[in-house]
């Protein structure tokens, strides 16, 4: 019985291109400098992952809404 219930639970879809981006790649994707990305990470303004302590990685699916809101802010100024 328990196994049947587990099989009915939907598994979240994972994007095929969901390879985590490094700081350089994230900066290019967002159209900003690497230093800006580091500042946003330090201020916890951007969604990011810490890998093995110091390495910072980003998921494109997390950055897309951030990029959209960032672009909108820039257009409003």
Domains present along the chain, CATH in parentheses: 18-76 (1.10.1660.10)
User: What's the rounded Cα separation, in Å, for the pair 73 and 12?
Assistant: 31
pTM: 0.70
pLDDT digits (tens, 9 = 90+) for 28-62: 999 999 999 999 999 999 999 998 888 999 999 99
**Mean pLDDT of all residues in the chain?**
82
User: What's the rounded Cα separation, in Å, for the pair 48 and 25?
Assistant: 13
Buried b (16+ CB within 10 A) or exposed e, 1-29: eeeeeeeeeeeeeeeeeeebbebebbbeb
User: What's the rounded Cα separation, in Å, for the pair 31 and 53?
Assistant: 26
């Amino acid at each position: 019985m328990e196994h049947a219930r587990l099989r009915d639970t939907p598994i979240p879809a994972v994007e095929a291109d969901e390879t985590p981006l490094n700081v350089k790649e994230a900066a290019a994707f967002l159209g900003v400098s690497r230093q800006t990305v580091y500042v946003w990470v330090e201020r916890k303004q951007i969604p990011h992952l810490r890998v093995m302590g110091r390495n910072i990685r980003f998921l494109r699916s997390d950055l897309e809404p951030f990029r959209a809101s960032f672009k909108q802010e820039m257009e409003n100024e």
